[in-house]
């Protein structure tokens, strides 16, 4: 057997062994990070009690279903300090477990969040100028209760302006469930409800929070605010994904 062929085979074997070792370490690390014992097990009730002692919460009751929400003023804005729980077609329980709704709210597609026909999941609302202009109204409520509405990018940006310049989102993260406990500086109490793809798969429960903006992004996307264990940003996602809703009060 030619010596160069032997050397080549040895080299390939080394590459395979190194790659397998690296993959094994990565899988082991991710398994440990996602193991139950690696999660933050601070009780939900304790987090709520701590916040209620620290912040001056208001309350609002949705007349449609009797659900009551904590509210909080942050700067010049008043936000619900809980995710919307209103049950409607096109809404889903986080991680596909109804028991999660009481704490994490429900997940909604963009068209359900804005309360517009499903045909606009993949085309601009500009097709209907009257509806398009209606949505642009600063207090367009969508599926929000009366007196509240789905935030625009501008309103999310106004909220983020209260954060430190190099913030990882900790000022908005609650202490419940997140691996990297939030500071929850303002009482916003963001929780990692994850999200749902249109194929029915639920992703990142206990790891990410995503909230709809009413603003479109291309023909099939819309903007969302995302909070992870170490980041916060506003980017576009498919409108057919189901995300959380945080309502902001009309002004």
Averaged pLDDT for residues 133-141: 95
Same structural domain for residues 118 and 56? yes
Same structural domain for residues 131 and 8? no
Averaged pLDDT for residues 218-245: 97
What percentage of the chain carries pLDDT values higher than 90? Answer: 80
Averaged pLDDT for residues 52-75: 98
Same structural domain for residues 135 and 22? no
Same structural domain for residues 149 and 90? yes
Same structural domain for residues 145 and 88? yes
User: Could you read off the pLDDT of 19-32 as tens digits, one per residue?
Assistant: 555 555 554 444 44
Predicted model pTM: 0.84
Same structural domain for residues 58 and 76? yes
String of DSSP letters for the chain: --HHHHHHHHHHHHHHHHHHHHHHHHHHHHHHHHSGGGSB---HHHHHHHHHHHS--EEEE-TTT--EEEEEEETTEEEESS------TTEE-GGG-GGGHHHH--EE-HHHHHT--GGGGSS-GGGSHHHHHHHHSTT--TTSPTTEEPPPHHHHHHHHTTS-TT--STTTB-SSB-SS----TTS--B----EE-TTS-EE-TTT-EEEEEEEEETTTEEEEEEE-SS-EEEEEEETTSBBB---EE--
Same structural domain for residues 123 and 57? yes
Is the pLDDT confidence value at 70 over 80?
yes
| Domain of residue 8, residue span | 3-38
At 8, the pLDDT band (50, 70, 90 cuts) reads low
Overall domain count for the chain: 2
Same structural domain for residues 84 and 24? no
Same structural domain for residues 31 and 72? no
């Amino acid at each position: 057997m030619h010596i160069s062929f032997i050397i080549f085979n040895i080299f390939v074997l080394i590459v395979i062994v190194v790659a397998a070792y690296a993959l094994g370490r990565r899988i082991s690390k991710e398994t440990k990070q996602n193991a139950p014992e690696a999660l933050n097990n601070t009780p939900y009730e304790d987090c709520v009690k701590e916040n209620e002692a620290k912040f001056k919460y208001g309350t609002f009751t949705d007349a449609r279903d009797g659900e009551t929400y904590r509210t909080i003023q942050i700067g010049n804005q008043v936000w619900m300090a809980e995710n919307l729980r209103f049950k409607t077609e096109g809404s889903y329980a986080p991680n596909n477990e109804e028991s999660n709704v009481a704490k994490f709210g429900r997940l909604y597609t963009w068209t359900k969040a804005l309360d517009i026909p499903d045909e606009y999941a993949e085309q601009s609302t500009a097709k209907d100028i009257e509806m398009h202009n209606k949505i642009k109204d600063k207090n367009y409520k969508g599926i929000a209760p009366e007196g509240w509405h789905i935030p625009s990018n501008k309103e999310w940006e106004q909220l983020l302006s209260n954060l430190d310049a190099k913030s990882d989102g900790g000022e908005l993260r609650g202490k419940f469930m997140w691996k990297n406990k939030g500071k929850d500086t303002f009482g916003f109490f963001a929780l990692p409800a994850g999200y749902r793809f249109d194929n029915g798969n639920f992703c990142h429960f206990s790891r990410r929070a995503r909230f709809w903006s009413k603003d479109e992004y291309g023909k099939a996307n819309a903007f969302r605010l995302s909070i992870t264990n170490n980041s916060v940003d506003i980017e576009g996602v498919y409108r057919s994904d189901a995300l959380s809703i945080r309502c902001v009060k009309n002004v």
